Structure 1
């Protein structure tokens, strides 16, 4: 299929194999000084999948952001084939820049065809994405820049008064999102794409009850479980909560449903939400970022 010129997920996932278990991710133009965490996670997962027989599909990943990456430099991924079993395969991948690890991931793959018990959480009753109109003019400048960074994606935050809240959860946010461009009919491509998407907006769910507060933000770790088939170019509902924020860190959790209400993935992430020190930016952007506003 012809690659759309404006959909950078094709560039992000275009990971080059340079040795048997060594891969290199391209530099993707960014308004962020630090490499977007979703990009690192997605490229790391691509490298892992390239070393696994297609009969096995990724069902979970666990990653740690151990150092900030530089968005102006490529990243090298070194894969360790931990185990190849009859039902499961395991991989450990280290993402490296200038000889220093910036991200470490463990991924598990399961052979397709197993059967067992079935049940699932239900999706919240929320407005359809077509009925949500985003007011970009009222958003913080940092949020506007991030939306420009993610302009290949249709992101629509459900208004706080348009869904029923769980009274036992202090911080909740619900987001519809999808790729604007059509993606290939390749399950692995959609899984790696969702790994990229899953880092968008999740940490901000911890800030919902702290309106007007500015903190230093960064992803610290990221875990995902892929439960059922989905397409990342069709509407997905990201139901997010933050069970706790303390000691400069916030724990966030997200359930991702397809439009039919099927639970397709679950995400858990802890992020840095430390009070800003003088001279420290909440999110470090490039010099060009200040001139950008969302082109929605």
Structure 2
């Protein structure tokens, strides 16, 4: 038996078909589409496998073009756009059953000295003082199949919401479009920095759009909106380990025209800003 963390590492371990072509597994799920964080994480692995590993990822920009089908392998084709003196650029196309479902551009940067500043991390309770998400879900929702299927995607991570979850429409009426969680992988992920970066990329797509939904409906339970990620961008500022606690602070500055924008900041326990994230999602009322 393998642990959820080991299964995540295995999911991110792509098969090399040709020099710049890789194939990734896509687990069979009852949900409609492949989890976007999985595709983004695998695409970043493919990009990183075509570099010499000396330059860490500093940014990625991606578009979700079509929903992927669970259970069907995904092929990742890498274009070696540039190998400069300090920057390396890769473009990745994800293909499933002959159709492009995802595009990603990733940039790698040789570390250099420079000045530093950052805004402070918000004051929040420590993760040890917060209940695990899985316990909250089971206590309120029991064994609902859809909730458990959505939880399965989160199994590699211990997730703890900073504020209590809201379970009724009345509770969300006065809520601001903000959310924050502590997260960490439930087991060790090894020492390869690329694995930690790709695992965090996987995790970053789990709940960023929750910030858009917070004022609209309870985050767990039956959904009133069909939701899909449209694009995703990340900037990696400092080295980190995804199997250590990190705070994922999220907010949504605007939602309009059936689209909601969310931005996130990821901090370590020492208050250092590790990663910045932006994402836009599509929200369509179910049955509307």
Q: TM-score, normalised by structure 1?
A: 0.86
Cα distance per residue 1:103-133 (max 9 Å; x no partner): 0000001012x11110112111111111112
Task: Identify which of 128, 142, 149 aligns with 1:145.
Answer: 149
Which sections of structure 1, spanning at least 5 residues, go unmatched? 162-168, 279-296
Runs of 4+ more than 6 Å apart: none
* Distance (whole Å) between structure 2 residues aligned to residue 201 and residue 38 of structure 1: 10
Aligned to 2:115: 117
The 5-angstrom pairing of residues 225-244 of structure 1 reads: 225-244=235-254
Q: Is the 8 A contact 2:25 2:71 kept in 1?
A: no
How much has 1:144 moved relative to structure 2?
4.4
Aligned to 2:232: 222
The 5-angstrom pairing of residues 1-296 of structure 1 reads: 4-7=2-5, 8-112=7-111, 114-133=112-131, 134=133, 135-136=136-137, 137-138=139-140, 142-159=146-163, 170-211=176-217, 214-277=224-287
Cα distance per residue 1:145-204 (max 9 Å; x no partner): 31233122101111159xxxxxxx941101111100111011111001101010011111
Alpha carbons of 1:43 and 1:237: their partners in 2 closer, same or farther (altered >3 Å)?
same
* Distance (whole Å) between structure 2 residues aligned to residue 22 and residue 76 of structure 1: 7
Range 90-99 or range 22-31, more displaced: 22-31
Q: Is the 8 A contact 1:95 1:102 kept in 2?
A: yes
How much has 1:12 moved relative to structure 2?
1.4
* Distance (whole Å) between structure 1 residues aligned to residue 78 and residue 4 of structure 2: 30
Which sections of structure 2, spanning at least 5 residues, go unmatched? 166-174
Alpha carbons of 1:257 and 1:139: their partners in 2 closer, same or farther (altered >3 Å)?
farther
* Distance (whole Å) between structure 2 residues aligned to residue 244 and residue 5 of structure 1: 38
* Distance (whole Å) between structure 2 residues aligned to residue 32 and residue 54 of structure 1: 35
How much has 1:31 moved relative to structure 2?
4.2
* Distance (whole Å) between structure 2 residues aligned to residue 201 and residue 209 of structure 1: 15
Secondary structure of 2:187's match? coil
Q: Is the 8 A contact 1:15 1:23 kept in 2?
A: yes
* Distance (whole Å) between structure 2 residues aligned to residue 248 and residue 100 of structure 1: 25
How much has 1:210 moved relative to structure 2?
1.3
Q: Is the 8 A contact 2:78 2:90 kept in 1?
A: yes
Q: TM-score, normalised by structure 2?
A: 0.88
Q: Is the 8 A contact 1:171 1:242 kept in 2?
A: yes
Secondary structure of 2:56's match? strand
Secondary structure of 1:56's match? coil
How much has 1:30 moved relative to structure 2?
3.2
CA RMSD of aligned residues (A): 1.9
